Amino acid sequence: MRINLMSVSVDDQRAAHTFYTDVLGFRTHRDIPIGDDAWLTVVSPEAPDGPELLLEPAHHPAVRAYREALVADGIPVAQFAVDDVEAEHTRLTARGVAFTQPPTDIGAAVIAVFDDTCGNLIQIITEKPEQAS
């Protein structure tokens, strides 16, 4: 068993697509019209055949309360691995991304959290190599 697809609920699929591709650097994988929406997925350019991220329209009535509660508590809805959180923070800040938590060393990793402009908090992480005991 492996992870093939995960989703983030977004207020506006096209705005989310622009943010996730033009700002974060993901690539469009699928863009299939379905009524007023689309089956719209992006992938990492480092793993074009890897897991897809579905930019899911936030139409379901439970989504708003769920996302608002997570944001209010500072809880990210997804986590993306990066090679260097500090460098990614610098790159994304220069592109106008608003971070709610700056790079923070948590012992086993360095993390940071940003607002995806689509209703979600996203965490980036760089895990540290395991130390020999």
Task: Render pLDDT for 101-111 as a digit per residue (tens, 0 to 9).
Answer: 999 999 999 99
**pLDDT tens track for 14-35:** 999 999 999 999 999 999 999 9
Radius of gyration of the chain (CA): 15
Distance CA 25, CA 57 (A): 20
109 and 99 Cβ atoms separated by less than 8 Å: no
> What is the number of H-type helices and E-type strands within the chain?
3, 8
Q: Over the chain, what is the mean pLDDT?
A: 96
Which pTM does this prediction carry?
0.93
Domain boundaries, the chain: 5-127
Distance CA 125, CA 121 (A): 13
Count other C-beta atoms under 10 Å from residue 120's C-beta. 20
User: pLDDT band at residue 130, thresholds of 50, 70 and 90?
Assistant: confident
Domain boundaries 5-127, corresponding CATH code: 3.10.180.10
